[in-house]
Chain A
């Protein structure tokens, strides 16, 4: 099948835009994994929770979206801290196997989804959009303007996160813990405080993704499951725990999906990412940017 240049360009742009949101999800996930060696299976529910907080802040209290967004992020940061302190830390203190962390985060995910069903309702909600729907036309090429704007905000948040990680003391502590936990502890880094910050940041980023995307993609209790599964694929693709890997992996996945839908079949859209995952595991299990780590 021949596709025209404009169609190709349009799809590339759509893929890039989606990629920026996947990145927001994946960076938090990757951060948590690198610092704590825990894959958070409740990441999608943090996304949905961020969306719901935005929805209620804007509809119940009449807050402007741009005012509500920092509040959502602060709230999600606090939720992340709480989850780490109450549920994850005891597992790490007792040095329990990874299976307990997986089951716990799975339980949290189940809890948040069903909490939302019971108390927010199972129906679809649409928070007010950040900017009214508008189109940008570049010749014959149409781009949805609100999406471009929202993904710019996403990129800004990502940039700020990278600055925190690479330029601050707590960022240094996180990177040190990620590299060598015991060594970091010997150097006087408070590992549990670092863990707490990492979980807080991860929840905050996922919540921000939810707040930014749910006006575009609608909000419902299971809304986070697809973005989350995509971000699991992304961190495996980019190399578990690698931040540049997470960002580049997200963009690659966004583009692959967008083009795959046009060139192959739309029905299998969500399957492409999983096929990518299986291929990565088969050919380069440590991911694009990962280093081979021995099982601990």
Chain B
């Protein structure tokens, strides 16, 4: 019975996901408007970050405050190596990912063997140090003015190709993450997240699992950051600002912690809402903060979790 339900659930979700994916693929044809295509493209960037942040917070149950800093590391590494060493753009982005991954390895090694909150504090410290270094080492990074990044696709005048690149990137990350989380490795990740003691008792090397998960999440975040830099054409410390982090956390939490589609839905919803409610200005983050608090307090599973439980399984709250 239990297995039946799960199989049923996953089939229904698959149908919904395919319908959603088809819709997103056709979107530029329906929405022949550069501005909204651009907004969606940015939305996909946030979706990737929310998705990977959620692997840490929702599955491994460790909160990282360095996620945006890692994205910024990817962006800066890529742009700086391309400008200074004239390497091909794709190689630059790859290097961005590698440097981001190495940084996460360092933080992970330092703090993941300790209690969860040490990890959070270390990521906070790392993010702060990174932000200070970027603003102070002005001659290389051009400080808060930002560094001009070459465009990913050269000087084309439309965002449609970027839209598809971003969508493909998001699709690849989603599929990869789905496969990872449903493999033996993913089961171990969830086990360590649920209870480290129990996982250790089952013979799982929890330290290694934690470092791996952080590495995975960070490497993708860095690559996404590099992509973002080459999309907007400017790399600046705003990428790792407090507000951006808040945005990503809100997207994950509101969409649904511990689910894969949740952060994607949350990201697109919040990004579109933010664009639509541009005029609200100063109340924007106030609303986001209230959303985070209320979701955690009353709708802990978020939008996707709620839909899944209520609509798919017919279980009351």
Contacts and interface: CB of A to CB of B under 8 A. Distances in A.
A240 B196 CA distance: 20
Interface string A133-174: 000000000000000000000000000000000000000000
Interface string B208-251: 00000000000000000000000000000000001000100100
Contacts of B293: 87, 104, 107-108, 111
A281 B122 contact: yes
Contact of A236 (B118, B286, B289): B118
A114 B118 contact: no
Contacts of B120: 39, 102
Interface string B172-210: 000000000000000000000100110000000000000
Nearest 3 pairs between A and B by C-beta?
A111-B289, A107-B292, A110-B289
Interface residues of A, number: 43
B148 interface: no
A46 B283 CA distance: 20
B61 A103 contact: no
B42 interface: no
Contacts of A232: 121, 124-125
Interface centre among B122, B126, B289, B300 (most CB of A within 10 A): B289
A123 interface: no
B121 A99 contact: no
A281 B117 contact: no
A183 interface: no
Interface stretch (B7-15, B108-116, B159-167, B309-317): B108-116
Contact of B124 (A97, A115, A229, A240): A229
A21 B300 CA distance: 37
Summarize B's interface: helix, strand, loop or mixed: helix
B136 interface: yes
B136 A267 contact: yes
Contacts of A107: 289, 292-293, 296
B27 interface: no
A103 B57 contact: yes
Interface stretch (B28-36, B127-135, B259-267, B271-279): B127-135
21 contacts: A87-B297, A91-B296, A104-B292, A104-B293, A104-B297, A107-B289, A108-B289, A110-B292, A111-B289, A111-B290, A117-B286, A118-B282, A118-B286, A233-B121, A233-B125, A268-B132, A268-B136, A271-B132, A271-B133, A281-B110, A293-B115
Interface stretch (A1-9, A56-64, A124-132, A272-280): A272-280
A281 B297 contact: no
Contacts of A225: 242
Nearest to B288: A110
B296 A100 contact: yes
A278 B117 contact: no
A236 B290 CA distance: 29
Contact of A277 (B122, B196, B246): B122
Contacts of B133: 271
B62 interface: yes
A103 B115 contact: no
A115 B116 CA distance: 29
Contact of A274 (B125, B282, B296, B297): B125
Interface of A: 33, 39, 86-87, 90-91, 97-100, 102-104, 106-108, 110-111, 113-115, 117-118, 222, 225, 229, 232-233, 236, 240, 267-268, 270-271, 274-275, 277-278, 281-282, 285, 293, 295
A42 to B, nearest CB: 10
A240 B193 CA distance: 22
Given A98-B116, A108-B293, A110-B289, A281 B129 contact: no
A241 to B, nearest CB: 11
A97 B61 contact: yes
A99 B61 contact: yes
Contacts of B125: 229, 232-233, 274, 277-278
A209 B273 CA distance: 38
Contacts of B38: none
Nearest to B193: A97
A171 to B, nearest CB: 24
A133 B124 CA distance: 35
Contact of B196 (A39, A113, A222, A295): A295
Contacts of A236: 118, 121
Nearest to B114: A285
Nearest to A232: B121
B253 interface: yes
Nearest to A109: B289
A236 B120 CA distance: 12
B50 to A, nearest CB: 13
Contacts of B193: 97
